[in-house]
Chains A and B, each alone.
Chain A
Amino acid sequence: MPANAETLVRAENLKVHFPIYSGIFRRQVGSVKAVDGLNFEIKRGETLGLVGESGCGKSTAGRAMLRLYELTDGRIDFEGVDIAGLNKGDLRDIRPRMQMIFQDPQACLNPRMTVGDIIAEPLIEHTKMSSKEQREKVKSLLESVGMNPDFVNRYPHEFSGGQRQRIGIARALALEPDFIVCDEPIAALDVSIQAQVVNLLQDIQERMGLTYLFISHDLSMVRHIADRVAVMYLGRIVELAPKEQLYKDPKHPYTKALLSAVPVPDPEVEKTREHIVLQGDVPSPANPPKGCRFSTRCPVAKDKCFVDDPEWRKIGDGGFVACHYAE
């Protein structure tokens, strides 16, 4: 990543709430606050890792960035354009610049279409290529993700998980986007294939100057691919910092607990090192605790944490944290 590069995407107070309807009149009785006030920016050519446990709103945040979900509140600034406020036509024009790579390689390709048709779909929508040009483009895309271009007439069920993921990547690259949201692209793959796909993503990033929002729950993989890492808990980002800083010196108690759960590949160290085991379960996002979101499970919570919501403040060198007592 180039130093002091310009900001490509900025999320301001991003909120996605899903309404809960109940009763015979289907009245709204509350909402699941899946994403509740995210602030972050991603620089051009950078990879921002977004980590957190299941159900903390990572995927929702990623989809909201592409406006696959309507925002409840907030702004998404994409090169000075507020995506959240765009109407359908303008949104469609900007869609080619941001794409998504999905988690489940089984479900992300239409089983009734050939690989060629799947990858060509965005081309049909946004370019005026003849079908022959499309064919050529699809073949070159397949080649660029390391697959045999003669596979264009095959169907998704004839490929392995890793190959399907490559097809999904080729589709995302078809319109030469600037920004790609990777929604746990490696979670459903074997470990050996994970490395291949991650390396492919890095190669492509270098070649095409892409910007990634890399969503994952695999902390070691994020450490490998990301430049900066954001840690989410219950719909909020609790800490965001450059990766060396975050992994070496986590500020937020949740980040500390999360990192202590990553196994160390040395039995001697593993035996002696400290594990922070959090008590209790994640509270319901429909009814988050007062004060700090993490207060109910925080090992170092004090009275203030149960009353006041900690502000999102700068800490260290380029880091941010949402905790009253982090320093």
Chain B
Amino acid sequence: MKKTSSTIIAAALAVGLLAGCSSGQEEGPAASPAQPSSSGAESAGEPNAFGWIKPAQTTVIDFYQADRDNPDKVARDTVRLHDYLLNNFNVDLKKTVYDVDPKERLNLMLASGEYPEVIAAMDDDTVDKWKAQRKIIDLTPYVDQYGQNIKKALGDKYKTYLDEDGKLWGLPRGWGYLPGPDFTAHIRMDWYEEMGSPKIETPEDYYEVLKQMVAAHPTNAQGEKVYALSWNDQVNINNVMGIWGLKDGYKEDADHNLVHWLNTSEGLEAARFYNKIYRDGLLDPDLFINKFDDWKTKFANERIVGHIGSWWHSWNAGHEIWRNSVPDYQEDMRYVQIAIKAAGAENAYLSPKDARGWNYTVLTDKAKNPEAIIKFLDFTMSPIGTRLLGWGVPNEEDSLWNYEGDDKWSFNEAQKTALLDGTFDYEKSDQLGGNRFWLVHGQGLLEDDNKSTAWYDQNFVDEDKWKKLMYDNTKDTVYDNTARRVVFSVDNPYTLVNQQIEDLVKNGFAQAVTRKTEDEFVSTFNELRDKANKLGLQDLEKYRTEEYKKQLEILNQ
């Protein structure tokens, strides 16, 4: 009996294992839900309100976006726009994302041969890899035939996206120049006004003001120590160097030769600035351990008085929390973005802009109907197409905009007021699908009015008191960094050196800043510089300079 029962159990185990080895479908990361409805095919062949001729057969665009994201949130945020496009354009746009490293995912797709028709957010190196293996198609003939808007929008820059054989392998995403700041210094408005709004021009002025703020508020409401400055994992050292006149971490001479900040006196001064604050006990001791959420918690609890980082950091961690949590909240209890420039620096170069775009959208060799796909992508590059995909579903009560047809549109006043009032519900507005299907549209100012942009909340700078203040304070700190773009692909001999130096710099900067005496700081900084040069930093500088000069020639043609 025992033998029989144990034999049966063993056999069941074996069968169970074999059943588990079946090649089932991979469990879904959520793509856009909803089966295509038949309503999309109605009135096929006729132009819709956007001038788009609805195809008789539904255009299915099934794309993977190579960004790490939450599939459930994406599914929730894309359903309305998906349905709108299906019903009004007869285009079934489906987006797939995974909450995993996109590079690994793409490599897995390449190795397994399982990938969709369209892939968005592919970087230069990956495009080259897929092109070499003939997994993506040449888009030139399709763009030549159906891409009028694409060519018009990209203008002279279009030819810069072609390879040495004049072929186009990917359409850029997020291209264009948005003249708004990304990276600034931040000062707390109410405390600054209490102090009499002293002059802040240099980093030393800034630190002086922060010191006074800490002296006036040495602990927060919970009795915890307050610090002048901190850091988080989203702050980029190269942007900080902009305060000392270095562009994207490099000093440039009149002949466009580039020198890394480690090999400059400005770099030493920048690191010294932070070290001084650390030695004064006013730098958060956990600054280089902080993830963004850790920093945000401290900032929201008023434990950090200043910030040098992305403009939205202090909005997100400051007044957007305080207006809901502080009982007698006043409007000035917020941070204002300012520029600071070291004495002797030509300018503060805080916000580099790469107008070429973030990455690319490609069509793979599995695309069954590339003509139809390109036609739709071409539409999305038009100003009205960019508005639709940038701002989401129009003409509904909670929409961000209204569209009347014949290129006539307007903003939804209620939503606009909410944005200007600071009561805008970002979470809810995400569900309108704005910028959720970012395939090829740009982020710069739209050509038809030279004013509006795909980023909804950047459209009212002149009417938003605080945004206007930010733009006015930092307008000279934004610069075009397109020419300095370098692709570190797998077969680039400098890729490894670049990564080693980046890691060394990140670790070494942290160690130098947290030295307890100035002599130790200088010695650590010099050691860091020598190690980096030994690793090949000066060769890297030469390589970057050569690439930069080449790009300048191309862009100036």
Whether chains A and B associate is no
- B positions within 8 Å CB-CB of A: none
- A positions within 8 Å CB-CB of B: none
